[in-house]
Amino acid sequence: MESNPILVVGGGPAGLEAARGAGELGYPVLVVEKTPVLGGSPILAPYAALTPDMEDAETAMKRVIDAVEADPLVELRTGTTVTAAEGELPELSVTLAGPDGEEVVKVGAVILCTGFQHFDPGRETQMYGYYEYDDVITLVDIERMLKDERVVRPSTGEPPKRLCFVQCVGSRDRQIGNEWCSKVCCGIACKEAIEIKELLPSCQVFVFYIDMRMYGFWEDQIYWKAQEEHKVQFIRGIVTEITKRGDEVVIKGEDTTMGRPVEVAMDVVVLSVGMEPSDGSREMAEIFGLPLESHGFIETIDGPLNTVSTSKPGFYAAGAAVGPADLEDSISMAGAAVMKAAGFLRKQLVGA
């Protein structure tokens, strides 16, 4: 007795883990990824080293990709999108548009792993002059430099002497409309700060923050490590504005615990941009008729004890598609989602 495959939308960490899990449970699975590559944000952004253990992202993701590629139960379609869905699970007809044209396939259950997109600092206002000043960059931009092991001030090509991170850019901000914490940016900033200090020990690195959200082992593994071993300076207070003074980028803010005004030139300012619902999440929610929760991510309905079930039976979501998530969250949710999808299919096959 064989079911229709589980459709996994998205070939990032959550999607690949869901596919691996489905294969391990003995269920056929079809992974649809709209970009030509597997691996998701760690590969596409790219994130050179993973938080918190700093393993090379390509190496880490390759293990998962190799596993799914070797599994005959897993079918991988890159460069492919879902454009329509008709009927009911477990006989849902899904239209796929790929390099070889359109195709309709029947699927038995759906797991949405459509991830997130980074907040664009120029989305609504020219916040912090991201598009105006070469030396104002984002977490993702500096990650690219770290991948090449060459951190420079973009305007001069010289190594920076003073660099700062500005946390919560596009997160926790009612003005912008993103009231959530993006969960991972504190950890990523710490990780990147450590990597910068390892490359440029004499560069002063500051992190301007509202709260450092370093839950669990991230606390001592990356936050204390950055502070104690690498002398990264954490300053409670968010930069108000960034202006240009001659060739210099000047940040202005308050050191709130000291109650003192801060005004100083930085060679490089790194904006810790947060997570937003991806276009893919919105499109899939529309196609499959799934509601979004109030922040715009795919809604799960069962509270903290079930992080993956959506409002429609047989439809699950995992990873940053349902809200800001780190890798551990995404992988764990993928496992939970595939277990529920398998349970759903088994019920259909053997009868409840």
Interface residues toward another protein, by CB under 8 A: 161-162, 204, 206, 224, 227-228, 231, 233-236, 255, 257-258, 260-264
> What is the smallest separation between the CB atom of 247 and another protein, expressed in angstroms?
16
134/228 with CB nearer another protein: 228
Residue 141, number of CB atoms within 10 A of its CB = 17
Question: Cβ(59)–Cβ(65) under 8 Å?
Answer: no
Spatial contact of 311 and 291, defined as CB atoms under 8 Å apart? yes
Task: Give the residue with the Cβ less far from another protein, 47 or 209.
Answer: 209
Which CB, 140 or 200, lies closer to another protein? 200
312, 304, 303: which is closest to 285 by C-alpha?
A: 312
- For the CA atoms of the chain, what is the radius of gyration? 22
The owner of tokens 């931009």 is: 141
Question: What span, in angstroms and rounded, lies between the C-alpha atoms of 306 and 254?
Answer: 41
CB 203 within 8 A of CB 235: no
Question: Whose Cβ is closer to another protein: residue 131's or residue 224's?
Answer: 224
Judge contact between 243 and 230, C-beta under 8 A. Answer: no
Under DSSP, the state recorded for 207 is E
Please, what is the minimum distance in Å from the beta carbon of residue 201 to another protein? Answer: 13
Q: Looking at beta carbons only, is 83 or 233 nearer to another protein?
A: 233
Give the H/E segment covering residue 279: helix 279-288
Measured from the CB atom, the residue of 31 and 235 that comes closer to another protein is 235
Identify which of residues 231 and 347 has a Cβ nearer to another protein in the complex: 231
Considering the complex, what minimum distance in angstroms separates the CB of residue 216 from another protein? 16
Give the shortest CB-195-to-another protein separation in angstroms: 18
Phi and psi for 350 in degrees, rounded to 5?
-95, -10
Angle at 113 between CA 111 and CA 114, to 5 degrees: 130
**Taking the complex as a whole, how short is the minimal distance between the CB of residue 185 and another protein, in angstroms?**
19
Q: How far is the CB of 55 from another protein (least distance, A)?
A: 25
- Min dist. Cβ of residue 142 to another protein (A): 20
Dump strand ranges (E) for the chain: 6-9, 29-33, 74-78, 81-86, 92-98, 101-107, 109-112, 116-118, 136-138, 162-169, 204-209, 233-236, 241-245, 248-255, 260-266, 268-273, 275-277, 315-317
For another protein, the closer of residues 146 and 266 by Cβ is 266
The rounded distance, in Å, linking the Cα atoms of 87 and 69 is 30
Residues 6+ apart with CB under 8 A from 221: 52, 53
Q: 34 or 191, CB closer to another protein? A: 191
Least gap, CB of 40 to another protein (angstroms): 33
Show the tokens assigned to 15: 């999607």
Min CB(229)–another protein separation in Å: 9
